[in-house]
Amino acid sequence: MGLNKEQLEARRKGLGGTDLAVVSGTSTWKSPLQLYYEKTGEVGDMTEEKETMRMGNVLEASLIQEYCVRAGEIIRNDA
């Protein structure tokens, strides 16, 4: 499934749910400084899909649906 180039560019311009742990300093995968460099385009190629990212993309819709059922909330995807 994955994200296309336009979606990746839009993601680079802001913060999403996957950035929360990084911004709060609780991520074990990357530091806030690494995230800053990615968002500013100074490092990293966001089009390179790693296995964990691929699986996240594959499972995202199902996980969102299950969260909505359990939490009784609605989540919009404006992307």
- Tens digit of pLDDT for each residue in 53-77? 788 888 988 988 999 999 999 888 7
Report pLDDT for 7. Answer: 79
Report pLDDT for 67. Answer: 92
Residue pair 79/52 in contact by the 8 Å Cβ criterion:
no
Q: In 1-79, which residue ranges form alpha helices assigned H by DSSP?
A: 5-12, 20-23, 32-39, 51-71
| Count of residues in the chain | 79
What is the pTM (predicted TM-score) of this model? 0.47
Closest CA to 38 of 7, 78, 9: 9
Read off the amino acid at residue 24: S
**Rg, Å, the chain Cα set:** 14
